[in-house]
Chains A and B, each alone.
Chain A
């Protein structure tokens, strides 16, 4: 009971700080921290699939990137200069092609639905979910597990990144989509450097964390933890392990998609680098440092790593060393503190009673 109260207090403290922070920040840091909170949402997604169900996806960047691209398409079309067709398409079109989204470049008609922001937002959540469902169905049906899942997801993200870079006339290629219009919903404009976007991100983070917490505290969550420990045993107990895995994998993909949406809103761009291997694996280390088995820990981990990372990359002396520090972090977190910051905090709070010595027992 006591541990529960402390956990609750930790969540309360975290979100109190998150919501109070903008009062003390200038617009630059408001934007930076908003981006880190977006990363925290990603880390929650990782914690769901990896921490709770033992599915280590190294391709979360794919879902994150798709989320970002979907809303970025809508926000690109929202810029007046990009009507009737986005600027970059004009550079890639055939000389005599019709200047209309239907046929300016091959495949540009795919952009047509994204004239509606609501479709962009919806697609940013649904598309990652559908891809995760298709891939997950194939993988889990075949009882692929462990490192195989990790490598397959990793490879898929790599393919996604290459396809986007390669289809320049459709996707903007290597440069991605930049100079996006600010998000505006129902007359309210969200300024990326203002408090409005910050609170939007913080509110979404709160909702995602609460929902995830709800999911993992139900029976479903317990089954997932059991799957993580020993999936054949759970299968023998009569559970359909595959559908549980599929559910949590899709959920974490959707969470990554949501994070991607918010990333495009906060950073005003979407680029293929969001799908890179290193970014996908970085997400995992955020969750690992914070504590893979703890949703709050994952959030804290994402904030800490990215904060240090951006401080280091602005310092000329630290910048070349930062990747090495990051690499060492991977090694040391895994070797020394596998349960992350949350694990350490937990062991402080709940000091196990000293086991009685053999002498005491025999006496």
Chain B
């Protein structure tokens, strides 16, 4: 039961990161390898905000969303946009950005070169204080459930609902879906597809930023923490089927639980190995993903 709850929180993080990636990938067919760094940025926003501004983890959620979204917007406009249609090249360019962002944290945004150190940056591991009410443990039906894990789950549910509303109920969402189904025709109908791309990229990055805040509560924060997320999240997107919100939810759930159960049963490495094997099997038997999008 406890394993299930932990799995649920892993799945929640995975879901939030993957949702961002899925929106970007679904719209532009671009994989942002710096997506994991958006998680890292979100985590560092939390570290810096709690150290220097005394903000709690709650107020960091919108702040990290904004900061990561701005980074995402900048990346889209400066690097991704000139590379439309060159998907593999985008992969390399965004990896380069990931390198730059990691190193900027390590050298204190460059201030370290002039001997200035900023508390909370650098290559060391950082910890974030978690509010007391989130540190408690609930006792339900004879099992211990950490409140923080349920908080993570709650945030994921809210973000999932917000994203659903955004994608299926708003004007932006219908334009977004139209662009991912048929870009040229949508553009011909008068939709500014570049604007949609930029917004989608910013929103996806912002989601990753929120995931970063949540992660910082139960893992140490370091400059290279982001890299594993982008791969896991991509596997979730692939397994769930591109362009399908429910697919992303379910595959994040399945993969998160699989990882958590195998990890408690043996260890984390085998957890990830099995995760990878499951995704390969899914790709083998359902190359379109578990849930095929019926957009067209």
Contacts and interface: CB of A to CB of B under 8 A. Distances in A.
Nearest to A331: B96
B100 A327 contact: yes
Contacts of A320: 103, 106-107, 112-113
Contacts of B238: 148, 151
A43 interface: no
B246 interface: no
A328 interface: yes
B83 A334 contact: yes
Given A162-B273, A320-B113, A324-B103, A330 B287 contact: no
A335 B231 contact: no
Interface in A101-155: 138, 142-144, 146-148, 150-152, 154-155
A281 B83 contact: no
A151 B273 contact: no
A229 to B, nearest CB: 13
Contacts, number: 116
Q: Which of A50, A148, A323, A333 is the most central at the interface, judged by chain B CB atoms within 10 Å of its CB?
A: A323
Q: Which of A138, A154, A324, A326 is the most central at the interface, judged by chain B CB atoms within 10 Å of its CB?
A: A324
A327 B103 contact: yes
Given A155-B235, A327-B103, A335-B82, A321 B113 contact: yes
A284 B106 CA distance: 24
Contacts of B88: 50, 54, 56, 146-147, 150
B237 to A, nearest CB: 10
B98 to A, nearest CB: 7
Contacts of A159: 272-273, 276
A281 B100 CA distance: 14
B93 A331 contact: yes
A147 B87 contact: yes
Interface string B26-62: 0001010000000000000000000000000000000
Nearest to A326: B99
Given A56-B88, A155-B231, A320-B107, A335 B31 contact: no
Contact of B287 (A144, A147, A323, A331): A144
Nearest to B237: A151
Q: Which of B82, B92, B104, B287 is the most central at the interface, judged by chain A CB atoms within 10 Å of its CB?
A: B92
**Interface footprint category on B:** 35 or more
A147 B31 contact: yes
A285 B93 CA distance: 10
B283 interface: yes
B169 interface: no
B93 A335 contact: yes
A54 B89 CA distance: 11
**Interface footprint category on A:** 35 or more
Interface string B258-296: 000000000101101100100110011001000000000
Interface in B182-206: none
Contact of A162 (B29, B93, B113, B272): B272
B125 interface: no
A288 interface: yes
B86 interface: yes
Nearest to B277: A159
A175 interface: no
Contacts of B181: none
B196 to A, nearest CB: 21
B20 to A, nearest CB: 16
A338 B100 contact: no
B43 to A, nearest CB: 19
A206 interface: no
A166 interface: yes
A18 interface: no
A107 to B, nearest CB: 15
B103 A142 contact: no
A72 to B, nearest CB: 21
A277 interface: yes
A166 B267 contact: yes
Contact of B89 (A156, A277, A326, A338): A338
A99 B296 CA distance: 65
B232 to A, nearest CB: 9
A158 B113 CA distance: 32
A333 B104 CA distance: 20
B234 A327 contact: no
B91 interface: yes
B216 to A, nearest CB: 22
B102 interface: yes
A284 B92 contact: yes
B280 A323 contact: no
B89 A281 contact: no
Contacts of B103: 320-321, 323-324, 327
A288 B86 CA distance: 14
B172 interface: no
Contacts of A154: 231
A262 B196 CA distance: 49
Given A323-B102, A327-B98, A327-B100, 4 more contacts: A50-B88, A151-B231, A158-B228, A324-B99
30 contacts: A56-B88, A56-B91, A138-B283, A138-B284, A147-B87, A151-B231, A152-B280, A152-B283, A159-B273, A159-B276, A278-B99, A281-B92, A285-B92, A285-B96, A288-B92, A317-B113, A323-B99, A323-B100, A323-B106, A327-B98, A327-B100, A327-B103, A329-B96, A331-B96, A331-B97, A331-B100, A334-B83, A334-B90, A334-B92, A335-B82
